[in-house]
Structure 1
Amino acid sequence: MTVTYVIDGAEVTGLDRFWQVIGAAVNGPDGYFGGNLDSLADCLHGGYGTPDDGDFVIEWHRHELSRRALGQEETVRTLQRRLERTHPDNRPAARARLEDALAGRGPTVFDELVQLIEEEAPGTLRLR
């Protein structure tokens, strides 16, 4: 039987809030389901509150509200934070990515999340 987890896009006001919302949707209040892209990828493989057989769906209701909240402005903020923690060898690429975001180019945080979910758990995401 497929388990459905619902994210209310109106509650996603930024990336930090996304982690709280998806954690609560999957594992209840104060639940955990990732805190960065790598940990989300791990969680999507099962065993972190989802069925081990991968029979689950994430319904992202009012996703357009999240798309706006996780748009260019949040992408720039997120990339600036990442740049501060990036290994020196990777800083040129991180700076280039930030410059693109500042110019309104490249994927947004929303785009990255959707792509990651679709790649790591194909067929589980439904944007409503």
Structure 2
Amino acid sequence: MTVTYVIDGAEVTGLESFWQVIGAAVNGPGGYFGSNLDALADCLRGGYGTPDDGDFVIEWRRHELSRRALGQEETVRTLQRRLERAHPDNRAAIQGRLDAVRAGGGPTVFDELVRLIEEEAPGVLRLL
């Protein structure tokens, strides 16, 4: 039997709230289901609240609200924070992504989340 986890796009107001919303959807209030892209990928591979057989769906309802909240402005903010903490060898690449996003190009945080979910758990995500 397929288990459905619901993300309400209206509750996603930034990247931090996304981690809270997906954690609560999968593992109940205060639950965990990743706190960065690598951790989300691990969770999607199983063992963090989803069924052992992998039979689950993530319904991201009102996803357009999340798309706006996780758009260019949030992407710039996220990349700026990443740049501040980055190893010197990685700064040029992050700065390049930041410059591209500021110019209106490149993937947004929303795009990265959707891409990751679709890559790690093909067919699981439903954008409604």
TM-score where L is the length of structure 1 = 0.99
Displacement of 1:10 in angstroms is 0.3
Displacement of 1:52 in angstroms is 1.7
- 2:83 matches 1:77: no
In the aligned structure 2, how far is the partner of 1:79 from the partner of 1:52?
34
- 1:3 is aligned to 3
Look up the equivalent residue of 1:81 and give its one-letter code.
Answer: R
Displacement of 1:118 in angstroms is 0.1
- 1:16 is aligned to 16
- 2:93 matches 1:93: yes
Displacement of 1:99 in angstroms is 0.6
Look up the equivalent residue of 1:56 and give its one-letter code.
Answer: F
Moved over 3 A (4+): none
Displacement of 1:59 in angstroms is 0.2
In the aligned structure 2, how far is the partner of 1:116 from the partner of 1:52?
20
Residue deviations 1:28-86, cap 9 Å, x none? 00000000000000000111000122110000000000000000000000000111111
In the aligned structure 1, how far is the partner of 2:13 from the partner of 2:55?
28
- 1:63 is aligned to 63
Look up the equivalent residue of 1:52 and give its one-letter code.
Answer: D
Give unmatched runs, 5+ long, in structure 2. none
Give unmatched runs, 5+ long, in structure 1. none
Number of equivalent positions = 128
TM-score where L is the length of structure 2 = 0.99
